[in-house]
A and B are shown apart, each in its own frame.
Chain A
Amino acid sequence: MATVVSAGAPQKQHGEKHQDDGAKRTSDAPRVLRVFRATPFTYATLIVVSAILSTPLVFGVSIALSSDQTVSTNAFTIFPSEFRWENFTRVFGSDLPMGRFLVNSLIISVGSVIGQMVSSGLVGYAFARLRAPGKNVMFLVVIATMMIPTQITMIPQFILFKDLGWVNTYLPLIVPNFFSNAFNVFLVRQFVSRLPSELDEAAMVDGLGFFGIYRRIMLPMLWPVLIAIGIFTLTYNWGDFMGPLIYLNDESKMPLALGVQYITTTGVAGQPPPWNLVMVGSILLTLPMIAVYYLGQRYLYEMDISGGSAGVK
């Protein structure tokens, strides 16, 4: 099959965008090594696997487009056989608070993202550049905290927020993000360490204070890592289920991730949940994540988290 293609199979650079469908580059191409030759079997496997992995997605869309009768008789088809697009507007109608869920998700996620970006930037910069007694020990503590599972602190934190009267508000889900987290601090520190230090030294000579250096010199250069942190924080909080489940009881305060599950538990006894509307909710929950990934991809690659060996080497 595609054996005419060029040589450039795996190379040091990540820039696979440029070499994807390598057919354009047949000139000066030595033959492809045998390991990199795609056989019909390669294609067959990839097609079958892609099809299997896509089935739940296609099925979900098909259910989202089903009529209420189809839901009550459980007569779904894998591929859409009816197209009730009105389901997508029905969820914003009076019978379901999906719009409210979406707004709640946005409030929680955006608040958390702002908190992490502001705090992790400051803390990470300080650990990378400023000198102070006790810094190294503190950084070891930062690293060590990454090993503590959240379940350890879950109950005392709940008690703390209950005593503060914050249960059934967004605050327990947003406020802790303003105090940075170890992984994000680590990312910023690594990022700043790779930046040339001449710039801030020059700024220092020019009489700029430490905060001025951070705000005027560092911050503009930190955007790639801050955006990556923003993406992680957004993804985590948008999809978080356990946090809202612990802290939010009112339907009107639930984010989409909890709300979608909630409406499957509250129907009339003996009736199946409105699966078509639940699936519309699931799609509304998923689409922003696909968009964020698509738009933010290059920042994630720039962070080189793609190699996945950040902490190991």
Chain B
Amino acid sequence: MIFTHGLHLRAVLMQALRTFFIGRGYLEVETPLRIPGLAPEAYIVPLTSEGWFLQTSPELCMKRLLAAGIPKIFQLCKCFRKGERGDRHLPEFTMLEWYAAKSDYRDLMAECEALLRYLAAAMGKAGVLEWQGRRIDLGAEWERITVAEAFRCYAPCTVEEALAQDRFDEMLVEYVEPHLGMATPTFLCDYPAALGALARLSPVDVTVAERFELYVAGLELANGFSELVDPVEQRTRFLAEQEAIRLQGRDPGPMPEVFLDGLFTMPPAAGIALGVDRLVMLFAGADNIDQVVAFTPEGL
């Protein structure tokens, strides 16, 4: 079934997103969907196309644009991730990514707040979002909680124990996520260092990465971080991810050498990826991602 309400709302939201970023001096860019190599990530499986890959994120190409000297960029594009299908997942989905030079993850969090408040006003829902029986106050100060604190508050074990038992994701989904973004949106911050392959480590605590996830009403909306711009360290992290992929019996593909070369000229920066379909879900009151796209893979 095609839900026309979701499609109308989606179109208005896309325009509002563009207006917001253009107004803040961001340049809209387009980078190729089909690329010869990806940032290796242990749990993101790409689709292949004639020996190349469909992008799982525009991250590498966009960072190369930053390294080439464009300070603020954004992109609205399709991304592809094999096997991801559920109420909140489509194997082909729409991503918003934006990157800003001379910024860090705190600046991004502030910009997320400004973005959602702007969109709510543009959609005639100033101040408050209502989703699945929840009222989320966008105007109040948004909650910021570290991963370690969140585990202490909500999970039956510490984050260190969850990692040691290889149960971090189960614990996060089962015990932590249901509490996030309920009164105000929540930034879940400072992920364990091992869980931010492209993020800079915190200068005050090297056991955590300057990475956050934004949650609204338990729905994970965006993932942002202070970018790692050290090419030597980045190569070491990529090698570790590639090894993890090999252990799963998959081919990690080639090392993204051109990207690593580009890091030598990349300024300090921060970048974020936001799931546009989920953003539409929030504004449309939809509890299933199928209600905010024209067609699902099964409907074709």
A and B form one complex: no
- B residues with a Cβ closer than 8 A to A are none
